[in-house]
Amino acid sequence: MLELSDINVVGLTGMSGAGKSTVSGEFMVNGFFVINCDRLAYSVQCEPAFLKEISEKFEEDLLNDDRTLNRAKTAEVVFSDPKKNRKYFDIIFPYITYDLLDLIRTSGRTNILLDAPTLFEAKLNILCSHIISVVADRKTCLKRITERDGITEAQALARLCAQHDEEFFRARSDFIIENNNDDFCKLEETALEIAKKIRKGE
């Protein structure tokens, strides 16, 4: 089995609605093994130990009658209150990190991309040789989120307000990709150029 020190882990993060999925696709094309941390989180949300901890630590009942997570209610609670947002992520991050490290070690790959919207909150940035952030102006992000997720602008705004702003990412990233004009060809070209630089060790 490969040791983690032998693996080049790159972090991809940024603002919701900025275009991270397109960027991760280009890294996959260029030979990176992409781990989608949102999908890992979705899987964790089905684990009995996580569900038990959520039910014990939240005043609100976030579970359905069948004891699965009520995702809509959870999102409403978590994104409307900063303290509950922090509490929720403090619970889920250790589960995600455990599964993530296991996946990295067993992948057999030496170039890994973590597609992680909450890269910094989960402290996964400490695993990364490079950090890439995708950013866009708030109006553009709101439009994309509402269209993508079928939610109201108010819900999309609450989600954005619960996340870091553009300047936070600019100050903590090795590469910044701006994606304001829906020019997907340019976005793909920029992502591929960065992927090649990182693979060459630049």
pLDDT digits (tens, 9 = 90+) for 186-201: 899 999 999 999 987 7
- Between 99 and 5, the more confident residue is 99
What does the pLDDT read at residue 202?
A: 56
H-state helical runs in 6-81: 20-29, 37-44, 48-57, 71-78
Mean pLDDT value across residues 52-69 = 93
| Ranges assigned E (strand) in the chain | 8-14, 33-36, 111-115, 130-135, 175-178
In this structure, whether the domain defined by 4-199 belongs to CATH 3.40.50.300 is answered with: yes
Q: Break the chain into its structural domains and give their ranges.
A: 4-199
pLDDT at 2: 45
| Mean pLDDT across 63-90 | 91
Mean pLDDT taken over the chain: 91
User: pTM score, two decimals?
Assistant: 0.86
Q: Does the structure show a pLDDT above 80 at 3?
A: no
